[in-house]
Amino acid sequence: MGSIHIIMGPMFAGKTTALIDRVEDAQRLGQAVVVVKSAVDTRYSVDQVVTHSGRRVPCFALQRLGQLRGRLGEEAYRAVQVVAVDEAQFLEGLVDDVRAAAEEDGKTVIVAGLNGDFRRQRFGQILDLVPLSDTVKKLRGRCKFCEQPSLFTLRIAASTQQQLVGGADAYAPVCREHYHDLEAVRRAVAAGVGAAEHPEPEAKVAQAIAGVSQA
């Protein structure tokens, strides 16, 4: 029987760093490890998991974890002991595939992903994995605007669709207070308040953020 371990948190909290640490620990112990990420994530590389600070490991980029067996072949898949999964919020069928990998195929599955989207809403199926998991680690980073821990991800780009692949160009890690203040600006701009004076919503939020930075 395998096991399920979750690493979650907002962007820039160190989720991918922690995942790579666990991959390297397992490799040092001589375990056979495979790294998988969602093919949606083309941000820094199409075939590597990459941290915001530039650490990277090779990976399979898939729509869903269940495709791994087909990509590796039956014999190679059977030999795998540890499966490390990044950007789990984007993977289809996450709960079914992770449960099957752990409980039917005997793998140790380590799953890293966002605890919520920029609206602090459920994102993909990672929260549904919690009741099935052995361990859950919630990471925090540093707020972009103060010394407090970051709990949430603020979107600074104009798009309001849930899925928007990006890094520091489109998102900032924030504490509760700065999320509360700056998300209110983002919502107001998205609703058209002040749109006449500020036709570019992104610019308006960026202005607010610059104001906070200087404060």
Ligand X SMILES: Nc1ncnc2c1ncn2[C@@H]1O[C@H](COP(=O)(O)OP(=O)(O)O)[C@@H](O)[C@H]1O
Residues that bind ligand X (CB under 6 A): 9, 11-17, 51-53, 141, 144, 168, 173
- What's the CA gap between 134 and 72, in Å, rounded? 26
Q: Is 77 labeled as ligand-binding? A: no
Taking the least distance from each CB to ligand X, the nearer of 168 and 193 is 168
Of the candidates 202, 10, 38, which has an alpha carbon nearest to the alpha carbon of residue 118? 10
The neighbouring-strand residues paired with 155 are: 171
Q: Which of residues 141-170 bind ligand LXEULUCI (CB under 6 A)?
A: 153, 162-166
* C-alpha dihedral sign at 11, 16, 128, 165: positive
Taking the least distance from each CB to ligand X, the nearer of 2 and 205 is 205
153 binds, among ligand LXEULUCI, ligand X, none (CB under 5 to 8 A by kind): ligand LXEULUCI
163 binds, among ligand X, ligand LXEULUCI, none (CB under 5 to 8 A by kind): ligand LXEULUCI
Residue 74 annotated to the active site: no
β strands within 30-184, DSSP E: 33-38, 48-50, 56-58, 60-62, 82-86, 108-114, 135-138, 141-142, 149-150, 152-155, 171-174
How distant, in Å, are the alpha carbons of 53, 74, 91, 117, 134 from that of 39? 20, 22, 8, 18, 26
Catalytic residue among 24, 74, 87, 197: 87
Q: Which of residues 19-48 bind ligand LXEULUCI (CB under 6 A)?
A: 41, 43
- Residues serving a catalytic function are 87
Give the interface with ligand LXEULUCI as residue ranges (CB under 6 A).
11, 15-16, 41, 43, 114, 117-118, 153, 162-166, 171
